[in-house]
Amino acid sequence: MTLRGGPGWAKSGAMSHHVLDLAGQTLHARADGSLFWPDQGLLCVSDLHLGKSERIARRGGGLFPPYETQETLARLDRAISENDPSCVICLGDSFDDLDAASGLAEDARLHLSRLQAGRDWIWIEGNHDPGPIDLGGTHLSELAIGELAFRHVATPAVPEISGHYHPKARVSGMVSARPCFLADKTRLILPAFGAYTGGLRVTDPVLATMMQADAIAVLTGQRALPVPMAALGTGRR
Amino acid sequence: MTALPPIIADWFKTRGWALHPHQQDMLDRSAAPATLLIAPTGGGKTLAGFLPSLVELSEGGHAGLHTLYVSPLKALAADIKRNLTTPVQEMGLPIRIEDRTGDTGYTAKRRQRADPPHILLTTPESLALLTSYEDAPRIFAGLQRVIVDEIHALADSKRGDQLMLALSRLDQLAPGLRRVGLSATVDDPQAIAATLARHPDPCPVLQADPGPDPQIEMLVTETRPPWSGGGAQYAIGEVLEQVRAHRTTLIFHNTRAQAEIFFHRLWLENEDDLPIGIHHGSLSRDQRERVEAAMVAGELRAIVCTGSLDLGIDWGDVDLVIQVGAPKNVKRLVQRIGRANHRYNAPSKALLVPANRFEVVECVAALEAARDHDLDGDPRGPGPLDVLCQHILIRACAGPFDADQLFAEVRTVGAYAGLSRAAFDDCLSFCATGGYAFRAYDKWQRLKQTDGLWHLRDPRAAQRIRMNIGTIQDADLLKVRMRRGNRVLGEVEEGFAASLTPGDRFLIGGEVVRYEGLKELTVEVSRTPGREPKVAVFSGTKFATSTQLSARILRLLNQGSWPNLPGHTAEWLMLQGEVSQIPSADRLLIETFPHEGREHLCLYGFAGQNAHRTLGLILTQRMEAAGLSPLGFVVTDYALLIWGLEPVDDPAALLDPTDMRAGLDQWLQGNAVMKRSFRGVATIAGLIEKNIPGPKKTGRQATFSSDILYDTLAKYDPEHLLMRVTRDEALHGLVDFGRIEDMLARIAGIDHRRLSRVSPLAAPLFLEPGKVPIVGEGRERLMAAETERLMAEAGLSAL
């Protein structure tokens, strides 16, 4: 069991971030799980999974607290106000399914519109939300800015920024695993930004084989903490 | 006096048996709506319970179910079936007896529903499941009697609450249902009687002759007990001597880890090759059954075990019980000892083996309490609402219901007699729509009302509800399998498995195994005989020393001199008196001292480990806010030790009761113990489903964690039903805040001793395992330094 520090702690100043170099570009992996590209004024988040609780209820899977959309948008709001990006990319699985997108509650729609106002907004398609969404912004299956490609699921083509896997990791002394970025010199995988998202341990072979040996994980949480992926140990050989 | 029908009386005569007075008594009172029998093991309790049924059924002519027998253990149901069937067959009585538990096969279960036997032996969960079927009215229509066995083990738990709620349902299906409870010795028989009876029916308590008092003594050893730790390795020589001198000895431990380590070391010194087995809850069923069978057959000279053996199977020829480690609870100890040597009029024998020097005091206190018949018991609060929610869902599976009627039904259960209509409606609302302040699920609600009656919106939901019936909280467990040969050794908690790296060695089932890896949901291991295990296995005990026992210990400590304690312990206490002072009941002793570069604070609360852990979390939070940079703490049942960077000059200020209460509420929001409680509550109430149709995933991987649900509710809906239930549970159980408040209320003042070094009484805490790290500013700096170091080592700091 661990205890976070006193109340003053969480609200201290600007959010910490870890600086990454991807194909010569400087990127900030922030402690809240968002990615900021200062030279482009671009903020990127992945796997929001808005509307998840409603989708689960619709499928007879239980009636979970219906606040995750509100919470995820609040976090996104904070990331946007801290960085004032001119462009925001949502890197896929922004909605738990297309019905969730069309069924978004009124106040969530309004909040989204406010966030979109005055900036470019790009929805990248994911496997959960593979079609166009009627919520403002531009819909693309992938986007390239200079050398960097933004897509939902990683491919062999690098340099690339993707999401989909919801990576998470734990360092000794931590109570439970935290969502994390995975980064090597040519590939970056974003953590899931949404409130109701589970995760895949970085020690899972799917992730381990995708990244190079010198890859690092950047843990989210109070601070962005980089750790060599190799130091996280493996549950398998 | 009711006479036995000739066919039964004759059978008794041919055996030379006469009825015990309490068995005759039960027969005479068989028309009563409720009766509670307190009888020791071997006192013919089971026969006393069943005799009226056998008499009523002996004439034949009763169609369908007549008597229901419920016990906490599947194995017990199977056992009783065997024991009852033999005489019934010998007497040639026209009575069908069957058992029905999680182990009963599918075909047998279907047949039992279509054509129920006269006597059905089952468990609380299986009974709840039976009441969930649409044909429940037909199954239970002719039911006359319900026998609840080992009711003392059920009464204080959610399982008991679920059982009693199920009985309230049976009352509707079988009006005039009579209830019988069978119990071991307890501190408050009236409380159990009130639990058993349909409120407000009376329930007389029958006491069978308790037999002679148990003989309990301390084990005398040549080596002194160590300063701290939980094992009793120092006493193995003497323990083996005792095993040699007796027929069958049970050696009880408080945790599975201790049992494993002790068993391992015992065998290293077992030069006579005495057959000794091991039994605890994490071993595979196969292994446990083999040990149980060997024990019953008299093939084992000793069994190293945990509370897993407390219930159920016949202890046959056990003639000595050894309790290793402080018993923590006198009632449990006495009940446990009472099972040994149940040839009715011989006293049971027990030896206490303290695991460390402080436990010597606790064992002596427990011994004296047992001699004084001073059993401990904490009064229980009202019936928990999460169990009520599950009951409502179960009821809905059986068919539409009227809310007013269900409310009245529930209030006939003793624990829920004081249930308010508002609380009931909250539970109903939760079951129907999730009970959120923000009404989001009207379209997908689980229950809806049609023509005034509540029913499932989607009948298919019944399957999922039935799959998740129960209140037992299993940790997420993974099977442990030998890589070659595929033998299943047992189970370990998922958290433990997640912390292993290949090559780690741990103990299970008495074997040292090497962790190879995780394959799907199984932990694969290989043998490494002869190597020492490095890692402790399983999580620790959740039991704290009871309030009464703690009070007794304090009295013992304040005797002035200690002729009843061994010399080494008396010397230790005397030194404490010289260097600092002996803690007393009416003043709280706090010692502060420096040690190895850190500032320490030791608080002698005597409030039990759970309350101390909570107090530790609250106090360190206040210390953090005050800039005192706490780094960690550790607890025992009698004290709390905190260390940090700054000395605490005014401990009394940290303990202001009003501030504490306010601090508790704020702290309750974020902490791990609350989240663990919440997980249990949410699972029982039906928010989280443990079992879903389809391929199996473990709790941790299947959905996002319940921690996220907790955090969300804490932020957006803090007064949600499940949050309130979790907070209420926090007053007892793992958070045990009630005991902190009791402690603060009992003390007249605080004695602060500023020492230059560690005191004798504080010394053992330094060796205590289970240190809790505090993640504050200090810790974050340390972690950042650590990750920096790892990065530098890997040559990545330039990134």
Q: Would you call B438 and A67 a contact, using CB atoms and an 8 Å cutoff?
A: yes
B-chain residues near A196 (CB < 8 A): 704, 708, 712
Q: Which two structure tokens, joined as six digits, stand for B721?
A: 């039903």
Yes or no, beta carbons of B434 and A65 under 8 Å apart: yes
All residues at 6 or more sequence positions from B499 whose CB lies less than 8 Å from its CB, including other chains: none
Which of A4, A19, A67 has its CB closest to that of B716?
A67
Comparison of pLDDT for B128 and B766, the residue scoring more: B128
Q: Which of A1, A9, A234 sits opposite B672 (nearest CB)?
A: A1
Residues of A in contact with B780 (CB under 8 A): 5, 222-223
Q: Are A188 and A62 in contact (CB under 8 A)?
A: no
Higher pLDDT, B453 or B628: B453
Nearest CA of chain A to the CA of B424: how many Å? 19
Average pLDDT, chain B: 85
A13 touches chain B (CB under 8 A): no
CA distances in angstroms from B555 to B365, B550, B739, listed in the order given: 9, 9, 18
Tell me which DSSP letter residue B220 carries. Answer: P
Which among A100-104, B234-238, B547-551 has the top mean pLDDT?
B234-238
Whether A206 and chain B come into contact, CB under 8 Å, resolves to no
Residue A41 and residue A87: Cα distance in Å, rounded? Answer: 6
From its phi and psi, is residue A204 left (phi > 0), alpha (psi between -120 and 50) or beta? beta
Nearest to A6 among B625, B794, B799 (CB): B625
Instruction: Check B438 against A176: CB less than 8 A apart.
Output: no
B170-194: pLDDT as tens digits: 999 999 999 999 998 787 899 999 9
Q: Do residue A1 and residue B708 have CB atoms under 8 angstroms apart?
A: no
For testing contact with chain B, the best of A1, A53, A54, A218 (most B CBs within 10 A):
A1
Task: State how far residue A117 is from chain B, nearest Cα, in angstroms.
Answer: 26
Chain B closest-CA separation from residue A22 CA (Å): 10
For residue A235, what pLDDT is reported?
31
**Nearest chain B alpha carbon to A104:** B440
Nearest to A3 among B713, B775, B796 (CB): B775
A176:B436 CB<8 A: no
CB contact under 8 A, B783 and A2: no
What one-character DSSP code corresponds to residue B224? P
Kindly determine whether residue B705 and residue A236, on different chains, have CB atoms separated by under 8 Å: no
A222 in reach of chain B (CB within 8 A): yes
- Give B166's contacts (C-beta < 8 A, 6+ positions apart): B124, B127, B128, B131, B391
Look up the pTM and report it: 0.82
Dump pLDDT digits (tens) for B421-464.
Answer: 999 999 999 999 999 987 778 888 999 999 999 999 999 999 99
**Best CA proximity match to B364, nearest among B571, B585, B586, B552:** B552
Contact B780 A222 (CB under 8 A): yes
Provide the shortest C-alpha distance from residue A236 to chain B (in Å). Answer: 5
Residue A9: which pLDDT band, with cuts at 50, 70 and 90?
Answer: very low
Q: Residue written as tokens 């925001």?
A: A88
Tell me, what's the pLDDT at B141?
93
Q: Which of A54, A66, A173 is facing B783, going by the closest CB pair?
A: A173
pLDDT band at A216 (very low <50, low <70, confident <90, very high): very high
What's residue A3's pLDDT? Answer: 31
Q: What was the pLDDT predicted at B37?
A: 95
| A233 and B CB contact within 8 Å | yes
pLDDT band at B531 (very low <50, low <70, confident <90, very high): low
**What is the pLDDT, as a whole number, of residue A5?**
33
Tell if the CB–CB gap between A231 and B794 is shorter than 8 Å: yes
- Which residues have C-beta within 8 Å of that of residue B76, sequence separation ≥ 6? B149, B150, B311, B312, B313
Q: Quick check: B496 pLDDT over 50?
A: yes
Helix extents (H) in B601-736: 609-625, 651-654, 657-668, 672-685, 699-702, 706-716, 721-731
Distance from C-alpha of B629 to C-alpha of B624, rounded to nearest angstrom: 5
Tens-place pLDDT, residues A195-207: 888 777 777 778 8
- Closest-CA residue in chain B for A62? B687
CB contact under 8 A, A223 and B780: yes
Q: Tally DSSP H helices, then E strands, for chain A.
A: 5, 16
- The alpha carbon of residue B357 and the mean position of all alpha carbons in its chain are separated, in whole angstroms, by 26
Confidence of residue B292 (pLDDT cuts 50, 70, 90): confident
Bridge partner residues of B302 (DSSP): B249, B276
Cβ atoms < 10 Å from Cβ of B24: 17
Concatenated DSSP letters for A59-75?
TTS----TTHHHHHHHH
Q: Which residues of B touch A168 (CB under 8 A)?
A: none
Q: What is the pLDDT of residues B236-249, one digit of tens each?
A: 999 999 999 998 99
CA–CA distances in Å: residue B627 to residues B196, B612, B673, B774: 53, 22, 25, 13
Residue B426 has a pLDDT of 96
Q: How far apart are CA A54 and CA B564, in angstroms?
A: 66
Range with the poorest average pLDDT among A70-84, B228-242, B658-672? B658-672
> What is the reported pLDDT for B733?
67
Helix (H, G, I), strand (E, B) or coil at A208: helix
Between A and B, how many CB-CB pairs are < 8 A? 151
Nearest to B233 by CA among B248, B246, B251: B251
Nearest one of B337, B376, B327, B336 to B156, comparing CA atoms: B376
A60/A66 Cα distance (integer angstroms): 15
Min Cα–Cα distance to chain B from A235, Å: 6
State the Cα angle at B649 between B645 and B653, rounded to 5°.
110
For residue A144, what are its two tokens? 């390239």
What interface predicted TM-score (ipTM) does this complex get? 0.85
Check CB contact of A156 with chain B, cutoff 8 Å: no
- Residues of chain A neighbouring B795 (CB-CB closer than 8 A): 214
Cβ contact, residue pair B790, A231, below 8 Å: yes
- The alpha-carbon gap from B525 to the nearest alpha carbon of chain A, in Å, equals 12
Residue A5 has its nearest CB partner, among B434, B436, B777, at: B777
Q: What percent of chain A has pLDDT over 70?
A: 88
Residue of A nearest to B720 (CA): A65
d(CA B566, CA B100) in angstroms, rounded, equals 51
Q: Which residues of A touch B787 (CB under 8 A)?
A: 171, 225-227
Of B670, B784, B786, nearest to A4 by CB-CB distance is B670
Q: How far apart are CA B629 and CA B778, in angstroms?
A: 6
Q: Do A225 and B445 touch (CB under 8 A)?
A: no
Between strands A138-140 and A120-124, the pairing is parallel
Distance from CA of A20 to the nearest CA of B (A): 7
Q: Can you tell me the distance from the alpha carbon of B700 to that of B779, in angstroms, rounded to the nearest whole number? A: 27
User: Is B774 close to A3, i.e. CB distance below 8 A?
Assistant: yes
- Identity at B735, one-letter amino acid code: V
The answer to whether A67 faces chain B, any CB pair under 8 Å, is yes
Q: How far apart are CA B366 and CA B370, in angstroms?
A: 6
How many Å apart are CA B359 and CA B683, to the nearest integer? 36
Averaged pLDDT score across all residues of chain A: 85
For residues B649-655, give the mean pLDDT. Answer: 88
More reliable by pLDDT, B676 or B47: B47
Q: Is the pLDDT of residue B779 over 90?
A: no
The structure tokens 């909040």 sit at A111
pLDDT band at A237 (very low <50, low <70, confident <90, very high): very low
The alpha-carbon gap from B172 to the nearest alpha carbon of chain A, in Å, equals 30
B251 DSSP 8-state letter: E
* Residue predicted with more confidence, B614 or B776: B614
For B202-228, letters b (16+ CB in 10 Å) and e give ebebbebeebeebebebbebeeebbbb
CB contact under 8 A, A3 and B671: yes
Beta-strand ranges (E) seen in B280-338 are 302-305, 318-324
Is residue A108 less than 8 Å (CB to CB) from chain B?
no
**Contacts with A198 from chain B: Cβ below 8 Å:** 701, 703-705
CA gap B226, B322 in Å, rounded: 19
- Walk across the sheet containing B276-279 and list its strands: B215-218, B349-353, B318-324, B248-252, B302-305, B276-279
Q: Is A11 on the interface with B (CB under 8 A)?
A: no
Per-residue b or e along A59-96, where b marks 16 or more CB atoms closer than 10 Å to that residue's CB: eeebbbbbbbbbbbbebbeebbeebebebbbbbbbbbb
Q: What is the mean pLDDT of residues B329-337?
A: 82
Closest among B674, B689, B663 to B725, alpha carbons compared: B674
For B656-713, what is each residue's pLDDT tens digit? 877 777 766 666 655 666 777 888 899 999 998 877 776 655 444 445 578 889 889 9
- Three-state DSSP state, B250: strand
- Output the DSSP codes for B108-150: HHHHHHHS--SEEEE-HHHHHHHHTSTTHHHHHTT--EEEETT
Per-residue pLDDT at B783 exceeds 70: no
| Structure confidence at residue B700 (pLDDT) | 40
**Reduced DSSP (H G I as helix, E B as strand, rest coil) percent helix, strand, coil of chain A, to 5:** 20, 30, 50
Could you give phi then psi for residue B193, rounded to 5 degrees? -60, -40
